[in-house]
Amino acid sequence: MPFTPVSTPPTPPRAADELAAMLIDARQRSLALMQDILEARDLGPRLAIVNPPLWELGHLGFFHDHFALRGLHELPDYQLAGADRLYDSSSIAHDDRWSLPLPSREETLDYLSRVQQAMLERLPDGDASAAQSYVYQLTTLHEDMHGEAFLYTRQTLGDPPPALGTPPKGHPAAGALPGDVDIPGGRHRLGSDATLPFRFDNEKPPLEVEVAPFSIARAPVTNADFAAFVDDGGYQRRELWSEAGWQWRERQALQAPVYWRRTDAGHWEERAFDHWRPLAPHQPVVHVSWYEAEAWCRWAGRRLPSEAEWEVAASREPSADGRSLAPGKRRHPWGEAPPDAGLANLDGWRLGRLDVAALAEGDSAFGCRQMLGNVWEWTASPFGPFPGFQPDLYRDYSAPWFREGRYVLRGGAWATRSRLIHTGYRNFFTPDRNDTLAGFRTCAV
């Protein structure tokens, strides 16, 4: 990542103790996710969809070091000399990360600790500055994203689930949630505005769009829904797949989602980390690519929502007569209150999905459930900039990926940190990725 003087977007100042708590919490989570893996293997297998664990951990420290200590506070490169040549993801090719002269595990952990301590020491009493609030949130949320990647990397490699602490108490309602809700059309401001404590560059400037009336499912597609497609020969029926999707399926030699298998008795099982279990029929299907979602939709006579439709269903309210959209936009489907375990399955504590009927208190105004948490949801929209887009401080966050054929995902998953996600947040992956925590919700045709 090119080193340039800090010029931060307008950001509301945050209390310094809040920023400190976020930094410390993110690091505790990273270490909880990585410690046993580092002890087992520093580098791991060379796969296109994972990073070497030791490299990825050092990259976290470097990101804080680069943007906060050197960029914001203008400190010299004394925390780890030559860190740019080891951990700069913008300039170091993915395949080269296994052959770098990386510091030892102990030296890497010491680097992370020293960087964080230096950041904490530079927080003032009371409120931080707008620039410090922006940079500290940027680096913390970046670490949160890697934390989610650590979790689905453990799934990819068949590692055991991590020890994250005690999951929330209670047993959310189980079952399916069939049916659609009707959403009136109208004008919608897509993206995020300056009222948020932090927003990424691809969420702005907000884009005014006209959305036609549509009907969208109350819940994501379930395992049972998807199993019906598989059992009907969905992976063998060429007519259900796009050309690119069929070529991908043939290369992958898939006959079902990547972590499914059929028992001798003919029942489906699903691998969760390092163990197999019976397929939970009412949980949302996960680890499916955009191509698989597209094929299921063609089989079911449905379609994926555009990201504008998804955002309207998640964030807007109906007018008094129900015929149009009321003014305003919710930060979360349920309103402005921050997420908690009774509203959304976030923050990783449950180490997996809930049934799609769970957490009714988190419904959107139109009655859509789990639009934040549980699984990311593919949309039909290619990932691109809104008109007037300008890259922010981390210039490689969005701009390099606009022309890569990626699609937008919305809503977060069970592993997503609640401080990151809101109804305007845009995720993006290439359509072949089935290792991420992605499912999908559909619209009527």
Q: How many residues does the chain have?
A: 445
In sequence order, what DSSP letters do the residues of 11-49 get, joined into one string?
----BHHHHHHHHHHHHHHHHHHHHHHHHH-SS----TT
**Model confidence, pTM:** 0.96
Residue 145 has pLDDT above 50, yes or no: yes
Token pair 């992958």: residue: 252
Measured CA to CA in angstroms, residue 203 lies from 189, 199, 209, 349, 391 at distances of 11, 7, 14, 28, 11
CA distances from 329 to 28, 319, 361 (A): 33, 12, 18
What is the CATH number that goes with domain 176-222+285-445?
Answer: 3.90.1580.10
Q: What integer is the mean pLDDT of 301-327?
A: 97
Query: Which of the residue ranges 82-86, 167-171, 232-236, 419-423 would you say has the lowest mean pLDDT?
Result: 167-171
Please write the tens of the pLDDT for every residue from 27-80. Answer: 999 999 998 888 888 888 999 999 999 999 999 999 999 999 999 999 987 788
C-alpha to C-alpha distance for 322 and 88, rounded to whole angstroms = 51
Tokens representing 107?
Answer: 């030296």
Measured between alpha carbons, how far is 176 from 340 in angstroms, rounded to an integer? 22
Task: Give 396's Cβ-side CA count (13 Å radius).
Answer: 10
- Residue pair 46/164 in contact (Cβ under 8 Å)? The answer is no
b (16+ CB within 10 A) / e for 300-330: bebbbbbbbbbbbbbbbebeeeeeebeeebb
Residue-wise pLDDT for 257-300, tens only, equals 999 999 999 999 999 999 999 999 999 999 999 999 999 999 99
- pLDDT mean across residues, the chain: 95
What pLDDT, in 10s, does the model give residues 366-414?
999 999 999 999 999 999 999 999 999 999 999 999 988 999 999 999 9
Bridge partners of 89, per DSSP, are none
Indicate if the pLDDT at residue 10 is higher than 90: no
Tell me, what's the pLDDT at 209? 97
pLDDT at site 44:
86
pLDDT, one tens digit per residue, over 86-137 is 999 999 999 999 999 999 999 999 999 999 999 999 999 999 999 999 999 9
Distance CA 401, CA 200 (A): 14
Beta bridge partners of 127: 15
What's residue 166's pLDDT? 85
The mean per-residue pLDDT over the stretch 311-327 comes to: 96
Q: What are phi and psi of 438, to 5 degrees?
A: -110, 135
Exposure on the CB side of residue 342, measured as CA atoms within 13 A: 4
Q: How far apart are the first and last CA of the chain?
A: 43
Residue ranges covered by each domain of the chain: 16-157, 176-222+285-445, 223-284
Q: What is the pLDDT of residue 9?
A: 82
Handedness of CA 33, 34, 39, 40 (dihedral sign): positive
Report, as an integer, the average pLDDT of 182-189. 96
Neighbour count for residue 253 (Cβ, 10 Å): 7
- Check if the beta carbon of residue 23 is closer than 8 Å to that of residue 119: yes
3-state secondary structure of 284: strand
Distance CA 143, CA 228 (A): 38
Q: How confident is the model at residue 1 (pLDDT cuts 50, 70, 90)?
A: low
For residue 169, pLDDT over 90 is answered with: no
Burial of 169 from C-beta contacts in 10 A (0-12 / 13-18 / 19+): exposed
pLDDT tens-digit readout, 205-240: 999 999 999 999 999 999 999 999 999 999 999 999
Using the predicted structure, report yes or no on whether residue 170 has a pLDDT greater than 80: no
* pLDDT value of position 403: 86
Element (H, E) at 324: none
* Exposure class string for 255-280: b at 16+ Cβ within 10 A, else e: ebbebbeeeeeeebebebbeeeeebb
∠ CA 430-400-76, nearest 5°, is 125
What pLDDT is recorded for position 440? 98
Whether residue 242 contacts residue 225, with contact meaning beta carbons closer than 8 Å, is answered with no
Does an H or E element contain 230, and which? helix 223-231
Nearest-angstrom CA–CA distance, 317 and 312 = 8
Residue 214 amino acid letter: F
Secondary structure element (H or E) that encloses residue 271, with its range: strand 268-272
CA distances from 369 to 176, 180, 220, 299 (A): 11, 11, 8, 24
